[in-house]
Amino acid sequence: MWGFTSCFAVTLMQVRSGSDEGSGGLVWLLVIGAVLTLFLFLLLFIASRYKRCPSNRILVVYGRVAGRRASKCLHGGGTFVWPLIQDYAYLSLEPLVIDIPLEGALSQNNIRVNVPSTFTVGISTDPVLMNNAAERLLSLSVQQIREQAQDIILGQLRLVIATLTIEEINRDREKFMVLINENVAQEVNKIGLELINVNVRDITDESGYIQAIGKRAAAEAINRAKVEVAQQEREGATGEAIAVRERTVNVARETAAGIEGEKLAEQRQRVAVAALEAEAVKGEVESQREREIAIAQRNAETIAAAKLAEQEQRIRVAEAEALAVTGENTSRERIAHSSAQLAEIQAEAKRRSDVAAAKAAEAIAIAQREQELARLAKEELAPQEIEKKRIELAAEAEAEKRRREAKGEADAIRAKYEAEAKGVQMVLEAKAEGYRQLIQACGSDPAVGPTLLLIEQLPKLVEAQVQAISQLKIDKITVWDTGTGKDGRNTTSEFLAGIVGALPRMHELARQAGIELPSALGRVHKSGDAETPGNSPAEAPQGEPSR
């Protein structure tokens, strides 16, 4: 089209370069060329927007379609796709083969089975299913479609197995396949797929129940076959014995008939010969006697031969009957032996069947016990575990609370003691500064400072002396005074002096501390010392401070 337009433009330029006489024809040429160009463009555009659908695909036209539908689906043929308001895409109709490795599916009798199978699905050409596929599978890849279909098939296959027992799955495969087709087809139709084929490769179970069922069926079939074989052998042996007996009887009968015919023929022959001889020897008197003797001898031989034939006949008949009885006894012996073997085989098969049934019952009991344990763990142990966990969390929270409270109290006590220590330190530092200034103020007399310090502590010492006697519980003291005692003192004064002597000695404490108390507090006199001037006329007790 573009080449045609270029040629038309070149021709137009050549015409323009000519004379102006053909200007009218040039305009018509331009109009005709433009119309042709527009027609070709429209033709090519329409051809490019007409989409054809191959036989192995579905053409989906979406956008603005008739009937307020989301899309329009075509299988085969073609349609025009309007630009700007419509677009198109294809869905492949190629089958998808999906492997379903189903393991541990729970059957109706609570036995887990493995059902590996292969499902073949594909997008359906039904109008409703095509619209479902266009709505749900248009933008998905083949792998995504396969995964989505696999999830749906797995769920439905587990659902079908849960409605059947192991015996139904193993025995009635047709019913199993019908249920799979119905359930799976209904679900995959919702996304636009149809079920093409189902191939269940094998059915096994973890407990070996299906294998036990197969062994039991095989054992039953073998037992039935052995019984039928024994029955046929018994019937064959019986028929054979009957046939042998009938053959022997018939042979003996025919043999006797043959002998009887021979004897009759011989008798007739002899009668004819005797008649001829009698007619020959009528005239011979001499030969009469010899003929009679010969006749008698021949009769005797005939009788002896007849008796011998009868004897042989009876012997053969007896032998035939003995053989028939022996054959019957042999057949009965074989039948009894076969019956004994059949009974043994039936007993062994019954024992194996009982063992298999016991093992199956044991497996069922174990499965039921595990199920009951799981139920108990769910219904009883789980709440207890939750309560235990809640108690542990509450205990941990309470412990954490107590730890934090103890830490706060410890921090408060530490802060308190630190504050007290700082206060004590400041008091001691102030006291030290005061003591230092006091020592500096004392100057040359170093005893003044300790004396002043002791005077400062004097109220505490007096308080200690008072507390020493304050705990004495004395309601009443009765003193029987007998007059003047030792050294001119009476008993009452000695008693009071003893009480005072029991108090702590202030001067002794001061002396031990290396401090000399002022004279206003009195002095300590040793024994034999002179009276100190300034003391009161009343002498203090020896070794006691003056008061």
pTM: 0.36
- Per-residue pLDDT at 497: 61
| Position 538 pLDDT exceeds 50 | no
| Position 357 pLDDT exceeds 50 | yes
The full set of domain ranges for the chain reads 2-52, 57-206, 213-391
| Position 222 pLDDT exceeds 70 | yes
- Per-residue pLDDT at 135: 85
The first and second tokens of residue 513, run together, are: 């501390």
pLDDT band at 271 (very low <50, low <70, confident <90, very high): confident
**Which range, of 321-325, 351-355, 527-531, averages the lowest pLDDT?**
527-531
- Per-residue pLDDT at 483: 57
Of the two residues 498 and 405, the one the predictor is more confident about is: 405
Mean pLDDT of 135-158: 89
pLDDT band at 10 (very low <50, low <70, confident <90, very high): very low
Mean pLDDT of 374-379: 78
- Per-residue pLDDT at 546: 37
pLDDT tens, position by position, 513-531: 566 655 655 555 554 444 4
pLDDT tens, position by position, 34-87: 888 888 887 777 777 788 888 888 888 888 777 677 788 888 777 878 777 778
pLDDT tens, position by position, 187-206: 999 888 999 999 888 888 77
Mean pLDDT of 451-475: 69
For β-strands 71-74 and 78-80, DSSP reports them as: unpaired
Q: How many angstroms separate the first and last alpha carbons of the chain?
A: 149
Of the two residues 325 and 444, the one the predictor is more confident about is: 325
**CATH of region 57-206:** 3.30.479.30
User: Do 100 and 157 contact (CB within 8 A), yes or no?
Assistant: yes
Q: Classify 480 in phi/psi space as left (phi over 0), alpha (psi -120 to 50) or beta.
A: beta
Q: For residue 28, count CB atoms less than 10 angstroms from its CB and return exposed for 0-12, middle for 13-18, buried for 19 or more.
A: exposed
pLDDT band at 533 (very low <50, low <70, confident <90, very high): very low
User: Do 515 and 447 contact (CB within 8 A), yes or no?
Assistant: yes
Residue percentage of the chain with pLDDT more than 70:
75
| Position 185 pLDDT exceeds 50 | yes
Mean pLDDT of 476-481: 60
At 388, the amino acid letter reads: K
Q: Classify 92 in phi/psi space as left (phi over 0), alpha (psi -120 to 50) or beta.
A: beta
Mean pLDDT of 258-277: 80
Crossing angle of helices 382-442 and 448-456, rounded to 10°: 140
- Of the candidates 491, 505, 492, the residue with the CA atom closest to the CA atom of residue 542: 505
Separation in Å, CA 208 to CA 115, 166, 360, 362: 14, 11, 8, 12
pLDDT band at 396 (very low <50, low <70, confident <90, very high): confident
Three-state DSSP state, 204: strand
The length of the chain in residues reads 547
Alpha helix (H) residue ranges in 163-208: 166-171, 173-189
Separation in Å, CA 528 to CA 426, 531, 532, 543: 51, 9, 12, 11
- Per-residue pLDDT at 211: 66
The first and second tokens of residue 170, run together, are: 């193993």
User: Do 63 and 89 contact (CB within 8 A), yes or no?
Assistant: no
- Per-residue pLDDT at 260: 80
pLDDT, averaged across the chain: 76
- Per-residue pLDDT at 528: 46
- Of the candidates 49, 64, 66, 62, the residue with the CA atom closest to the CA atom of residue 130: 62
User: Do 88 and 134 contact (CB within 8 A), yes or no?
Assistant: no
- Per-residue pLDDT at 541: 40
| Position 17 pLDDT exceeds 60 | no
Q: Classify 324 in phi/psi space as left (phi over 0), alpha (psi -120 to 50) or beta.
A: alpha
Locus of tokens 């587990």: 158
Mean pLDDT of 171-187: 87
| Position 119 pLDDT exceeds 90 | yes
Mean pLDDT of 206-211: 71
Mean pLDDT of 374-385: 78
Q: 141-145, 205-209, 259-263 — which one is most confidently predicted on average? A: 141-145
